Structure 1
Amino acid sequence: MQRPMATPSPCTGECRVGAQGVCRGCGRTLDEIAAWSTATEAQRAAIVKAAMARRPAPGA
């Protein structure tokens, strides 16, 4: 039995990748999205931190 990961996916279900290769919903790059399922907790935390910095401001 697998232990659930503590860091939840930042996916918002609004998957739209812009010209910069970043999802407009969650702020992750395509590489980060692909790596998510096998990422360690530390890697997931780093992905979430980077994604939050990339996400557009609400209403932008």
Structure 2
Amino acid sequence: MTTPPAPIKTPCIKVCVIDGQSSLCLGCFRTLAEVAGWARLSPEDREAVMAELPSRRDRIAPEKLAFF
């Protein structure tokens, strides 16, 4: 038997809306390129992006995040 691959860790919360001003997803704060290429990133690269995500929230106008 083959062992299934480990699931890919992701910050996705199923709110996929890209903010035109910051170019970040309003749900997870990743760029469109990061979202699209997430599965191709190494685990180390994904962890590096995830570590940076909390600081990206400040790049989005607070009123755009009022619903999330």
| TM-score, structure 2 normalization | 0.68
**1:17-56 mapped onto 2 (5 Å cutoff):** 17-18=18-19, 19-55=21-57
Question: Which structure 1 segments of 5+ residues have no match?
Answer: none
Structure 2 regions of 5+ residues with no counterpart? Answer: 59-64
Larger Rg: 2
Aligned Cα RMSD in Å?
Answer: 2.5
Runs of 4+ in 1 over 2 A off after TM superposition: 55-60
Counting helix residues as a fraction of each chain, which structure ranks higher?
A: 2
Deviations 1:2-35 (A, max 9, x none): 5314x61100111111121100100101111112
Normalising to structure 1: TM-score of the pair? 0.75
